[in-house]
Amino acid sequence: MSKGKMRIAVLVSGGGTNLQALLDAQKAGKIPSGEIVLVLSNNPEAYALQRAANFGVKGLAWDGTVPEGLNRRQALEAWLLQHLKEEAIDVIILAGFMFILSPAFIEAYRDRIINVHPALIPSFCGEGFYGLHVHEAALGYGVKVTGATVHLVNEIPDGGRILLQKAVDILPGDTPEVLQKRVMEQAEWILLPQAAELLCRELGEQA
Ligand code: GAR
């Protein structure tokens, strides 16, 4: 693995506001131990790709091609691994990446993948809890506090070691959309860059 700054890839699927927070933090000098050099999307329509382009960061989208003998997941992961290797990536950040990675993929980057989840794990997490569904579930249950979690990725969906967590109040009249925005503003966009720096610094010290 490389010495000096950790080479970071951000994996996205949608709007990319967490990617934006990471790029802004990098510009502001808040991720001195790493550098975002690659953005990969499983969805060619993801606005996150435009955000990468605006920042002059290389962004690529999977075109959905599934070579013979592979299933969809294997094809996507092969495509991801090829580009991660080509760019000598040290650290992977899942920022709204709506896809559960296989054990083999996770093993290839053990303790080098982080994910942001829009709830206080172990609440409202695991398979099926993604995006707005997470906030619908929190409102449906009637909890008064939710938040966001950044954790290392292991084979259990949303089950890896927690790095950072921040609570956010639920207010009367909240809709899933309103709550999602508050959780992003008050927790996700702050925690994710902090966790990126934490992990890059830790790995840099080990190198
Ligand atoms: C974010 O709220 C992120 O935490 C969530 O999807 C949204 C993506 O927004 N991720 C998950 O639910 C993963 N389980 P963004 O594309 O604007 O960053």
Angle at which helix 189-206 crosses helix 17-27, to 10 degrees, equals: 60
Over residues 44-60, the pLDDT tens digits come to 999 999 999 999 999 99
Mean pLDDT of the chain: 97
Q: Which residue has the tokens 């700054």?
A: 5
Give the Å distance between the CA of 205 and the centre of ligand 1.
29
Tokens (6 digits) for 117:
């989840």
- Residue-level pLDDT at 92: 99
pLDDT of res. 193: 98
Query: How high is the pLDDT of residue 170?
Result: 98
On whether the CB atoms of residues 197 and 30 are closer than 8 A, the answer is: yes
pLDDT band for position 3 (50/70/90)?
low
Give the chain's largest Cα–Cα span: 52
Pocket residue to mutate for ligand 1, from 101, 184, 186, 190, most atoms within 8 A of Cβ: 184
Selecting among 83, 117, 133, 151, the annotated active-site residue is 117
Q: What distance in angstroms lies between residue 126's CA and the mean position of ligand 1's atoms?
A: 13
The two tokens of residue 115 are 């994910």
162: pLDDT strictly greater than 60: yes
- The model's pLDDT over 48-91, given as tens digits with 9 standing for 90+, comes to 999 999 999 999 999 999 999 999 999 999 999 999 999 999 99
Give dist(CA 149, CA 143) in Å, integer: 16
**Angle, in degrees to the nearest 10, between helices 132-141 and 176-183:** 110
Give the contacts of 159 (CB within 8 A, at least 6 positions apart): 126, 151
Q: Mean pLDDT over residues 156-168, rounded?
A: 98
pLDDT tens for residues 85-121?
Answer: 999 999 999 999 999 999 999 999 999 999 999 999 9
The atom number, within ligand 1, closest to the CA of 18 reads: 18
Of 93, 99, 90, nearest in space to 114 by CA = 93
CA–CA distance, 16 with 51 (Å, rounded to integer) = 7
Ligand 1, atom 3, lies closest to the CA of: 96
CA 195 to chain centre: 11
Ligand 1 atom with minimal separation from the 46 CA: 16
In this predicted structure, the answer to whether residue 2 has a pLDDT above a threshold of 50 is no
Say if residues 102 and 150 touch (Cβ distance below 8 Å). no
pLDDT at 98: 94
- The span from the CA of 48 to the CA of 150, in Å, is 19
Tell how far the Cα of 117 is from the centroid of ligand 1, in angstroms.
Answer: 7
Q: Which residues line ligand 1 (CB under 6 A)?
A: 14-18, 48, 95-96, 116-118, 130-131, 134, 184, 188
- Name which residue sits closest to atom 11 of ligand 1, judged by CA: 130
Q: How far is the CA of 130 from the centre of ligand 1 (A)?
A: 7
Distances (CA, A) of 122 to 67, 90, 163: 37, 27, 13
Write down the pLDDT at residue 1.
47
Q: Is 135 a catalytic residue?
A: no
Asked if 90 and 115 count as a contact pair (C-beta separation under 8 A), the reply is: no
pTM for this predicted structure: 0.97
Q: How far is the CA of 3 from the centre of ligand 1 (A)?
A: 30
- Is 124:157 a contact under the CB 8 Å cutoff? no
